[in-house]
């Protein structure tokens, strides 16, 4: 954490590690919901393992993947204030400053409440726009979205 250039890499890899378990459980649940007779029919028809993955697994877990994409897009601007704030120090402050920590410093420490509220409102509007765009794209892609 002493190198400022290492902070983004450390944050990304800890985020991947944090969410890999949950995503794995969701994908395993989606795969277990696939009817086994589809695999048996594909095997009888002579489909290889890659063909079964491409023609059975991927199309049937695509709605689940799209829902997870929409949920991740909803949290894109909310990168986790607590984790960043706890990993932040004077050596990596230049690369670890995010909108949440900036509004905390401006709003709570500097007591500029209206300015920090305006920043968070703008952040929420950007996040809502991204969420709507990703949801619209997933609806166009496979017919299902979050709402």
- What is the per-residue pLDDT across 22-32, written as a single tens digit (0 to 9) for each? 889 999 999 99
pLDDT of residue 79: 76
Measured distance CA(103)–CA(120) in Å, rounded: 7
Measured distance CA(38)–CA(55) in Å, rounded: 10
In CATH, the number for domain 4-142 is 1.10.3720.10
Assign 1 a pLDDT band (cuts: 50, 70, 90): low
Joined together, the tokens standing for residue 57 give 């697994």
- What is the per-residue pLDDT across 89-135, written as a single tens digit (0 to 9) for each? 888 778 888 888 899 999 989 999 999 999 999 998 998 999 999 98
Task: Note the pTM of the prediction, 2 decimals.
Answer: 0.74
Domain regions of the chain by residue span: 4-142
């Amino acid at each position: 954490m002493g190198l400022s250039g290492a902070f983004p890499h450390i944050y990304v890899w800890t985020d991947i590690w944090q969410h890999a378990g949950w995503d794995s459980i969701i994908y395993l649940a989606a795969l277990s919901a696939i009817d086994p007779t589809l695999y048996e029919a594909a095997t009888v028809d002579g489909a290889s393992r890659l063909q079964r993955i491409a023609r059975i697994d991927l199309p049937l877990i695509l709605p689940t993947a799209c829902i997870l994409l929409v949920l991740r897009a909803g949290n894109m601007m909310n990168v986790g204030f607590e984790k960043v704030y706890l990993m932040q120090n004077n050596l990596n402050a230049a690369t670890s400053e995010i909108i949440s920590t900036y509004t905390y410093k401006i709003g709570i420490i500097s007591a500029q409440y209206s300015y920090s509220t305006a920043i968070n409102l703008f952040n929420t509007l950007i996040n809502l726009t991204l969420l709507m765009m990703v949801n619209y794209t997933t609806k166009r892609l496979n017919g299902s979205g979050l709402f």
